Amino acid sequence: MVLGTFLARRHAARATPRAARVPHAFQAGAVVVLGMIRTTPAVLAAMAFVNGWRSMVASALGMDAAPQDRVAMMSMRAAANQFGYLLGAASDGLALAAAGFSGLGLALGALFAAAVIVHAPALVPEAVAPEGAA
């Protein structure tokens, strides 16, 4: 994770919602597979690398959202992150109890997929206003 965070730092200045979509989508698929089959340490290392990258991109996007008040934005990001931990622990605990590791993988995949959906409005190109429109 440290290596992913370190390498993503070089690209943080050019972070876009599209750049956040890829690691979220990768993690969504990876955790579903992780819940279904036994994996190798290399796969877990790749997931940690992508998670570090994802975290750096998301932090850069948060700071760019309101450059005049970065402290407030990062405070909100930290609070949302903690809420995500709580939501994940509750939903994943229920999934694990109800359906085992396969259910856990599906629940985690759904949560990462929801993170992709959060960025969906930024993925749609803005409509071009007709000439002369106010």
| pLDDT tens per residue across span 23-81 | 888 888 888 888 778 778 888 888 889 988 888 888 887 777 777 887 887 788 788 88
Residue 9, helix vs strand vs coil: helix
Helices (H) and strands (E) in the chain, counts: 5, 0
Specify the DSSP class assigned to residue 127: P
Q: Domain for residue 34, yes or no?
A: no
Please answer whether residues 51 and 4 qualify as being in contact, where contact means their C-beta atoms are separated by less than 8 angstroms: yes
Residue 113's identity, in one-letter code, is A
Q: Which domain holds residue 109?
A: 2-11+39-120
Q: Domain for residue 62, yes or no?
A: yes
Please answer whether residues 23 and 57 qualify as being in contact, where contact means their C-beta atoms are separated by less than 8 angstroms: yes
Residue 129 scores a pLDDT above 50: no
Q: Domain for residue 46, yes or no?
A: yes
Q: Domain for residue 49, yes or no?
A: yes
Domains of the chain: total: 1
Q: Domain for residue 89, yes or no?
A: yes
